Amino acid sequence: MSTLASVDPQIADLIKAEERRQADTVKLIASENYVSKAVLEATGTVLTNKYSEGYPGKRYYEGQQVIDQIETLANERAKAVFGVNHANVQPYSGSPANLAIYMAFAQPGDTVMGMGLPFGGHLTHGWSVSATGKWFNPVRYGVRQDTGRIDLDEVRELALEHRPKLIFCGGTAIPRTIDFEGFASIAREVGAVLAADIAHIAGLVAGGAHPSPVGHADVISTTTHKTLRGPRGAMLMATTDEHATALNKAVFPGLQGGPHNHTTAAIAVALHEASTEAFRTYAHQVVANAKALAEELSGRGFDLVSGGTDNHLILLDLTPKGIGGKPAAQALDRAGLETNYNTVPFDTRKPFDPSGIRIGTPSVTSRGMGEAEMRQIGAWMDEVVTALSKGDAEAVIARVHNEVSELTAQFPAPGLS
Ligand code: DSN
């Protein structure tokens, strides 16, 4: 970054500070990861200079000799990694990708169905404050209060009653395996298009550590920067020509202008990495680590929504610990353990001050940490939360932060200097 440092030392210093922060922190945010140096390099290239509205072979600007090859390669790699017939790597991120699904398969005012945000869905699955909740008629399913899991009988009853045009499955705080086949059977029964939003679990699907929606969902959306370990971006996938054509039209010209070619190249690199045996091992280790962390926390009296995890993510209800999610997340952050506060199903507190925290293992696994480190992290979380609930956490936070720094020094994060 020598040029940046001389042109804009302020920004260069801030980037270095963020790099140090990322290196020194145990990053437990379930939706984040560390991309490889190769992905970072592809992101910071001259590809950002080029406009490419349209698709390979059919653009509205000249000079696409190279960009067409890059986008075609990204599409081909997505198709190979996920076993689909069509891929579109142009959506700017997850929300625009999901909006394209609405644009492709629904009209404003149509009934659509998705998981409610407080139960683990995403804003774009029809939540009230999102355009998808304002411009469509959303019906929401949740989880059972006694199990913390989706009840497909309830989903089916709602679908039969409301006959949605579009059903979303997937979400942002679902610790359990998504039954794509079950959702597909409901969607078929009511004549709905089934969209699987696999943003959180795409890397696990690619690595064979979570069942694939392919063959069940009509269309699939994902971000590329979570478990898939690519740049911030998104993809849409489909198996039929008809769905693929509708999605392509919705992305461009429906919603977007020129694709971000530097991101497209970095997605291609990430997909190349995701096709390796090492990535399969990574995906399975993410799940093994989450299970170890869940067991440790459960053994220490934490209340895990649904009782545990099948994937990379754990949702903790801190009510029995006598502390809110926000103060807990803030104290953990000061101890070097980065999480986010999160609503839990049937939360009695407000979204900006909810009862839970959400944690995940994609980032720590990318650093090479294993089950032993997960047990240590669970112990630190318990120490901080317990001290906080007793109102005397500062000494514990300081000690844990020192110990966290010793651990992070042993496990360098990919992509960082
Ligand atoms: N913000 C993402 C997450 O953290 O899960 C979802 O969009």
Domain match, 261 and 374 both: no
Domain match, 242 and 309 both: no
Ligand 1 and 172: CB distance under 6 A = yes
Is there a domain that residue 13 lies in? no
Task: Among 117, 130, 172, 201, name the best residue to mutate to test ligand 1's pocket (greatest count of ligand atoms within 8 A of Cβ).
Answer: 172
Label residue 415 by pLDDT band (50, 70, 90).
very high
Domain match, 356 and 235 both: no
Domain match, 181 and 59 both: yes
Closest atom of ligand 1 to 173 CA is: 5
Among 43, 132, 172, 223, the active-site one is 223
Buried b (16+ CB within 10 A) or exposed e, 344-355: bbebebeeeebb
Tell me whether residue 51 is one of the annotated catalytic residues: yes
Q: In angstroms, what is the span from residue 293 Cα to ligand 1's centroid?
A: 21
Is there a domain that residue 87 lies in? yes
Q: In angstroms, what is the span from residue 32 Cα to ligand 1's centroid?
A: 9
Span 276-297, mean pLDDT? 98
Is there a domain that residue 362 lies in? yes
**Residue 366 domain boundaries:** 286-410
Closest atom of ligand 1 to 95 CA is: 7
Span 247-256, mean pLDDT? 98
**Which of 212, 245, 274 is where one domain is finished?**
274
Do residues 271 and 353 lie in contact, with contact meaning Cβ atoms separated by under 8 Å? Answer: no
Report percent pLDDT > 90 for the chain.
99
Rg (CA), the chain: 21
Tell me whether residue 27 is one of the annotated catalytic residues: no
Domain match, 214 and 334 both: no
Domain match, 319 and 231 both: no
Tell me whether residue 197 is one of the annotated catalytic residues: yes
Atom 4 (ligand 1) nearest CA = 31
Instruction: Please state, in angstroms and as integers, the Cα–Cα distance from residue 40 to each residue in 44, 131, 258, 333, following that order.
Output: 6, 32, 21, 25
Predicted local confidence at residue 175, as pLDDT: 98
Q: In angstroms, what is the span from residue 173 Cα to ligand 1's centroid?
A: 9
Tell me whether residue 92 is one of the annotated catalytic residues: no
Domain match, 81 and 212 both: yes
3-class secondary-structure state, position 410: helix
Element (H, E) at 97: helix 94-105
Among 197, 303, 317, 347, the active-site one is 197
Domain match, 357 and 326 both: yes
Task: Among 93, 99, 122, 225, name the best residue to mutate to test ligand 1's pocket (greatest count of ligand atoms within 8 A of Cβ).
Answer: 122
Q: In angstroms, what is the span from residue 263 Cα to ligand 1's centroid?
A: 19
Nearest Cα to 140, choosing from 345, 412, 341, 368?
Answer: 345
**Which of 274, 309, 341 is where one domain is finished?**
274
Q: Where are the alpha helices (DSSP H) in 300-393?
A: 325-334, 362-366, 371-389
Is there a domain that residue 21 lies in? no
Label residue 131 by pLDDT band (50, 70, 90).
very high
Instruction: Please state, in angstroms and as integers, the Cα–Cα distance from residue 312 to each residue in 31, 202, 227, 231, following that order.
Output: 9, 11, 8, 19
What pTM does this model have? Answer: 0.97
For residue range 307-333, what is the model confidence (pLDDT) as tens digits?
999 999 999 999 999 999 999 999 999
Ligand 1 and 122: CB distance under 6 A = yes
Q: In angstroms, what is the span from residue 31 Cα to ligand 1's centroid?
A: 6
Atom 6 (ligand 1) nearest CA = 172
- For helices 394-410 and 325-334, the axis angle rounded to 10 degrees is 60
Domain count, the chain: 2
Closest atom of ligand 1 to 200 CA is: 5
**Which of 248, 274, 300 is where one domain is finished?**
274
Domain match, 270 and 314 both: no
Ligand 1 and 75: CB distance under 6 A = no
Report the residue count for the chain: 417
pLDDT higher than threshold 90 for residue 304? yes
Tell me whether residue 226 is one of the annotated catalytic residues: yes
Structure tokens at 44: 């910071």
Q: In angstroms, what is the span from residue 172 Cα to ligand 1's centroid?
A: 6
Residues whose CB falls within 8 Å of the CB of residue 210, separated by 6 or more in sequence, listed in order = 177, 178, 201, 204, 287, 310, 311
Domain match, 394 and 298 both: yes
Domain match, 51 and 141 both: yes
Ligand 1 and 31: CB distance under 6 A = yes
Label residue 73 by pLDDT band (50, 70, 90).
very high
For residue range 387-406, what is the model confidence (pLDDT) as tens digits?
999 998 999 999 999 999 99
Atom 1 (ligand 1) nearest CA = 31
Q: What is the CATH number of the domain that holds 297?
A: 3.90.1150.10
Which DSSP string corresponds to 166-196? EEEEE-SS--S---HHHHHHHHHHHTPEEEE
Is there a domain that residue 145 lies in? yes
Predicted local confidence at residue 1, as pLDDT: 79
Is there a domain that residue 312 lies in? yes
Q: What is the CATH number of the domain that holds 232?
A: 3.40.640.10
Q: In angstroms, what is the span from residue 199 Cα to ligand 1's centroid?
A: 8
Nearest Cα to 216, choosing from 248, 234, 193, 244?
Answer: 193
pLDDT higher than threshold 90 for residue 294? yes
Report percent pLDDT > 70 for the chain.
100
Domain match, 320 and 221 both: no
Q: Where are the alpha helices (DSSP H) in 250-370?
A: 261-274, 277-299, 325-334, 362-366
Label residue 417 by pLDDT band (50, 70, 90).
confident
Span 116-122, mean pLDDT? 97
Q: In angstroms, what is the span from residue 93 Cα to ligand 1's centroid?
A: 11
Is there a domain that residue 30 lies in? no
Tell me whether residue 382 is one of the annotated catalytic residues: no
Rounded to whole angstroms, the Cα distance separating 94 from 195 reads: 13
Is there a domain that residue 397 lies in? yes
Span 35-49, mean pLDDT? 98
